[in-house]
Chain A
Amino acid sequence: MTDSDIFNQPYDILIAGGGNAALCAAITAARAGASVLVVEAAPKAMRGGNSRHTRNMRVAHDAGNDILTGPYPVDEYWDDLLRVTGGQTDEQLARLTLDRSKELWDWHQQQGVRFQPSLSGTLSLGRTNAFFLGGGKALLNALYLTAAALGVQVIYEAKVTDLNITEGVFHSAQVQKEGEVFPITAASFVAAAGGFEANIEWLSEYWGEAAQNFLIRGTPYNRGEVLRLLLNKQVQAIGDPKQCHAVAIDGRAPKFDGGIVTRLDCVPFGIVVNKHAERFYDEGEDFWPKRYAIWGRLVAMQPEQVAYAIIDARSVDLFMPSVYPPEQANTIEELAKKFTLDPQRLRTTVEAFNAACRPGTFDHTVHDECHTEGATPPKSHWARPIITPPFYGYPLRPGITFTYLGVKIDAEARIIMHDNKPSPNMFAAGEIMAGNVLGKGYLAGIGMTIGSIFGRIAGQGAAQAKHRPE
């Protein structure tokens, strides 16, 4: 079939996006008997948005199994969510997500997705998170194969550029492919086109100039076009537009799509300085996975959005191997020059830190007693003088994972309009509505859970909506 053949057919459901949420919706709708068209902005090789970069999904379960090392009751999940969001969550939608997350493991397996047996290297999340065998792209391949077998049509390098909506009812969409614009009418619409994190101009509205220095960890295709269209058409927004999930990643990472490998785990083992060679935050506040997410924001607030992690030879092998080799030097001054930092100031900062380190037994697996006294900011744990050459350094930049601003939905994944009424035939799933559940903060693996749960609900609802009288 040619593109125009595909476009010229009538569909029950049009789905914008080609990530996990979109595919969960497409499969569910197709299983319910609906005809489905998925339009994905990326080419086939890059399909699947940020879902392509994921590794695991947080699911509640009452007992350990060969995938998950122990039980993770809904209540504990709920506590974890409350802690990271500080209560900024829609309790009804959040509870629904956590309760139904129990189904996901089976459901995804039925769609051909495979999970990885728990492995030693992944202990810290081995109990709470189910790991996709081969990662998110393998998961997507399985979902795409299943969708194709169910007759779902997918078209790549095609993006939704306009929506025809009147009084909360979706009528048609404009889809652009290779410069040509095709009108698509469908009985219902599912928005699963991700956030706007790859849209630097949009980020600049909240972050100003700083956004120019952000690196985007995921797909360059999540530019938020669908979100913008909806918000411009009487759809209620949710989530703090200024909030985004940002981590400190290797400053040498690609502008877009660097994915997981650009992460750096070295921060707790040394000091982090800004371009003035000054420390600005407690590097040893907590274990790295817990503190990982705050550093993106911290670096984003430093001049020119850059920082440098400095460690010595004793620490260089203690964390996950990095994709780019560290800069290396035999003296602190020499290292400073490699980063165009003022050598004298870096030396002063390092010496002040070294002098503040209290002797103690170093143990990076517990909150050890190695801390500083008299240093500002302090370092609470794992503080050891940086004295053993060679010295190593990594440049850091804010790496944006995703944005929080989204569309408001109800428990049936229906998009809520300005008049507080749900649209009868517009649904949203995934990152584009994650802000309903995740008002703030982040819980590793919950992004895929939210997308999967609401993808399935949206697919179900969209399949039913076509039978409903308008």
Chain B
Amino acid sequence: MPKKPMKLDTSIHAEANRQMTICNACRYCEGLCAVFPAMTRRRTFSDGDLEYLANLCHSCGACYYACQYVPPHEFAVNVPQIFAQLRSESYYRSAWPRTFAPLFQRNGLIIALAATVAIALFIGGFVAMHDPDALFAVHTGPGAFYRLMPHETMVALFGGVFLFAVVAIVISVRTFWRTSGGGTIGLSDLLIAGQATATLRYLDGQRGGCMNEDEQPTDRRRFYHHCTFYGFLLCFASTSLATVLHNLLGWHAPYAWYNPVVLLGVLGGSGLLIGPAGLLRAKQRRDPQVVSSDTRGMEVAFLAMLLLTSASGLLLLVLRATPAMGILLALHLGIVFALFLTFPYGKFVHGFYRYAALIRFARESKLPVAGTAD
């Protein structure tokens, strides 16, 4: 597949600017989501403004189906599509370190490669550390996992890659914040934005939004997104709790099924099965008019990785007392490692950019509207 040149594509900004100028003279969509009220607070749009608006968009599709100017109309307005392109531009523009920015464009491929290599390394590492037989032996009881990989090594590896991801994302989002307009942040802005993020307020089928395959509104994408998001958080909580138990209480994994670590993990893992699977299916059935084919690879790869993470994790739980444990552990750790490593250069970042955009939206909501609509 031919790829776009890996530089800032200003034509996307120009096109988004053209469309927002039409929308700002129209404003029919102002009740649909945050994008349109945010738009009405300005008369002209800088590149940064456009990226801010693009990241406020949840790609719910409502404005596409509501718009009297979509193609074949000569004004050819298609906000969700141009914003999808612009979002990936904004991720690209803000990526840290700069040299890794092009990874966004090949994210699907990179993730696949990273996962394969990481899994291979884990298997190889296990074998190198012990004899190959240990990989296929049955290990049970507390500390079973660490017989394949010492706890310190695991902490160093995962702590390291996690820290890298956090730093890279923080720097990227900060760059985005500054280049797109920035400003000081109040606590109430954080809270309002947090609430909107947590509830996916603007991906809201109740109020007529969230279309998928046609003009019929459904709330499915929001449901699956909630499964994914909260599934992820639960898994994260499970891991954090395990770290605490291990370090403070000296309780070593694997834990009994009734241990909160396992319960949180199972619950989160289930969410991470249902959510990404549902989103993948919705994506497959989505009206191709409202999405950007340029970003599809990145989105599919991220969902697939989440799905693999939870599937391998749950499988590990079920089969941890069998000889398959060694291989499954290597598989699971490899996938998680690759997932963490590629976090800053794929779809994962959208949540942070959106949260940042929502903070700015909360802050700007006190500003006056430009012109008065009729």
- A93 beta carbon closer than 8 Å to chain B: no
Stretch at the interface among A11-19, A117-125, A340-348, A372-380: A117-125
Any chain A CB within 8 A of the CB of B163?
A: no
What residue of chain B has the Cβ atom nearest to residue A122's Cβ?
A: B373
Indicate if A46 sits at the interface (CB-CB under 8 A).
yes
Q: Is A260 an interface residue (CB 8 A)?
A: yes
A276 to B63, CA, bound (A): 43
Most-contacted residue by chain A among B31, B63, B73, B370 (CB, 10 A): B31
Interface segment, one of A82-90, A134-142, A401-409: A134-142
User: Does B213 belong to the interface (CB within 8 Å)?
Assistant: no
Measured CA separation A121–B41 after assembly (Å): 10
Chain B residues near A119 (CB-CB < 8 A):
30-31, 37
Q: Are B373 and A117 in contact (CB under 8 A)?
A: no
- Chain B, 27-61, contact with A by CB distance < 8 Å: what is the 0/1 string? 11111100001001001000000000000000000
Chain B residues in 8 Å Cβ range of A257 = 73-74
Report whether B68 and A134 are in contact in the complex, using a CB–CB cutoff of 8 Å.
Answer: no
Contact, CB under 8 Å: A124 / B374: yes
A124 touching B372 by the CB < 8 A rule? yes
Q: How large is the interface on A (under 10, 10 to 19, 20 to 34, 35 or more residues)?
A: 35 or more
CB of A107 within 8 Å of the partner chain: no
Residue of A nearest to B65 (CB): A141
Contact yes or no, A265 B371, CB < 8 A: yes
Do A45 and B72 contact each other (CB < 8 Å), given the known contacts A135-B28, A135-B29, A141-B66? yes
- Segment with Cβ contacts to B, from A24-32, A316-324, A457-465: A316-324
Question: Does A145 sit within 8 A of B, measured CB to CB?
Answer: yes
Residues of B within 8 A of A320 (CB): 25, 371-374
Partner pick for B28 among A123, A260, A322, CB 8 A cutoff: A260
Chain B residues near A137 (CB-CB < 8 A): 65-68
Q: How far is the CB of B138 from chain A (nearest CB, A)?
A: 58
Which B residues lie within 8 Å of A61 (CB)? none
The answer to the question of B21 belonging to the interface, with a C-beta cut-off of 8 Å to chain A, is yes
Closest to B63 in A: A134
Smallest CB gap from B77: residue in A: A261
In contact, A133 and B31 (Cβ under 8 angstroms) = yes
How many angstroms from the CA of A120 to the CA of B40 in the assembled complex? 11
Q: Which residues from B are CB-within-8-Å of A136?
A: 28, 68
Nearest opposing residue in chain B for A292, CB measure? B374
Query: A144 vs B207: C-alpha distance in the bound complex, in angstroms?
Result: 18
Q: How many residues of B contact A (CB 8 A)?
A: 37
> A123 to B372, Cβ gap below 8 A?
yes
List A contacts of B207 (CB < 8 A): 114, 133
Interface presence of A454 (CB below 8 A): no
List the B residue with the shortest CB-CB distance to A250.
B25
User: Are the C-beta atoms of A317 and B215 separated by less than 8 Å?
Assistant: no
- Assembled-state Cα–Cα distance A320/B372 (Å): 6
Residues on A with beta carbons closer than 8 Å to the beta carbon of B279: none
Chain B residues positioned under 8 Å from A131 (CB to CB) = 31
Q: Tell me the bound Cα distance from A312 to B166 in angstroms.
A: 51
Q: A321 contacts B25, CB within 8 Å?
A: yes
Contact A116 B373 (CB under 8 A): no
Q: Are B72 and A46 in contact (CB under 8 A)?
A: yes
- A259 to B75 CA separation, bound complex (whole angstroms): 11
Which of B43, B62, B74, B208 has most A Cβ within 10 Å?
B208
Q: Does B24 make an interface contact (CB < 8 A)?
A: yes
Q: Check if B208 sits within 8 Å of A145, measured CB to CB.
A: no
Cβ–Cβ contact B374 & A122, under 8 A: yes
Chain B, 318-339, contact with A by CB distance < 8 Å: what is the 0/1 string?
A: 0000000000000000000000
- Which residues of chain B from 203 to 221 have a CB within 8 Å of any chain A CB? 207-208, 215-216
Q: Which residues of A contact B26 (CB under 8 A)?
A: 259-261, 323
Distance of A113 from chain B, by nearest CB (Å): 9
**Are A145 and B31 also in contact (CB < 8 A) when A122-B374, A259-B68, A320-B371 are?**
no
Of the candidates B24, B63, B215, the one whose C-beta lies within 8 Å of that of A321 is: B24
Q: Could you tell me the distance between the alpha carbons of A361 and B207 in the complex, rounded to whole angstroms?
A: 44
- B68-A121 in contact (CB<8A): no
Residue A444 CB within 8 A of the other chain: yes
Identify B27's interface contact among A114, A121, A141, A144, CB under 8 A.
A121
Report B-chain residues with C-beta under 8 Å of the C-beta of A46. 72-73
B370 near A55 (CB under 8 angstroms)?
A: no
Q: Does A289 contact B (CB under 8 A)?
A: yes
B164 interfacial contact with A, CB 8 Å: no
A53 within 8 A of B: yes
CB distance from B109 to the nearest CB of A (A): 36
Name which residue of chain B comes closest to A144, CB basis.
Answer: B215
Least distance between B30 CB and chain A CB atoms (Å): 6
Can you name the residue of chain B whose Cβ is closest to the Cβ of A364? B372
- Residues of A close to B40: CB separation below 8 A: 121
Docked complex Cα distance between A319 and B370 (Å): 8
* Residues of B52-99 whose CB lies within 8 A of A: 62-63, 65-75
Interface hits, A384-411 → B, CB 8 Å: none
Contact with B along A46-70 (1 / 0, CB 8 A): 1000001101000000000000000
Residues of B within 8 A of A10 (CB): none
> Whole-angstrom distance between the alpha carbons of A323 and B25 in the complex?
6
Whether B25 and A145, one on each chain, are in contact in the complex, defined by CB atoms closer than 8 angstroms, is: no
B31–A116 contact, CB under 8 A? yes
B374 touches A321 (CB 8 A): no
Contacts of B69 in A (CB 8 A): 259, 261
Closest Cβ–Cβ distance, residue B67 to chain A (whole Å): 7
Contact among B22, B28, B37, B372 for A323, CB-based, below 8 A: B22
- Partner pick for A121 among B30, B43, B67, B75, CB 8 A cutoff: B30
In the complex, chain B residues 1-37 whose Cβ is within 8 Å of any chain A Cβ: 21-22, 24-32, 37
Specify which chain B residues have a CB less than 8 angstroms from the CB of A141 in the assembled complex.
Answer: 65-66, 215
Q: Does A33 contact B (CB under 8 A)?
A: no
- Shortest CB-to-CB span from B35 to chain A, Å, is 13
Give CA–CA (A120, B36) in the complex, Å.
13
Identify 27 residue pairs between A and B in the complex whose beta-carbon atoms are under 8 Å apart, listed by A's number: A45-B71, A45-B72, A46-B72, A46-B73, A116-B30, A119-B37, A122-B30, A122-B373, A124-B374, A133-B31, A133-B207, A133-B208, A134-B29, A134-B32, A134-B62, A134-B66, A135-B67, A141-B66, A260-B25, A260-B28, A261-B22, A317-B370, A319-B372, A320-B371, A320-B374, A321-B24, A322-B25
List the 6 closest A-B pairs by CB distance, nearest first.
A134-B66, A135-B28, A116-B31, A320-B371, A138-B66, A323-B25
Residues of chain B at the chain A interface (Cβ within 8 Å)? 21-22, 24-32, 37, 40, 43, 62-63, 65-75, 207-208, 215-216, 369-374
- Apart from A116-B30, A134-B66: 13 A-B pairs, beta carbons within 8 A: A119-B37, A120-B369, A121-B373, A122-B30, A133-B31, A133-B208, A134-B63, A135-B67, A138-B66, A141-B66, A263-B25, A320-B25, A321-B370
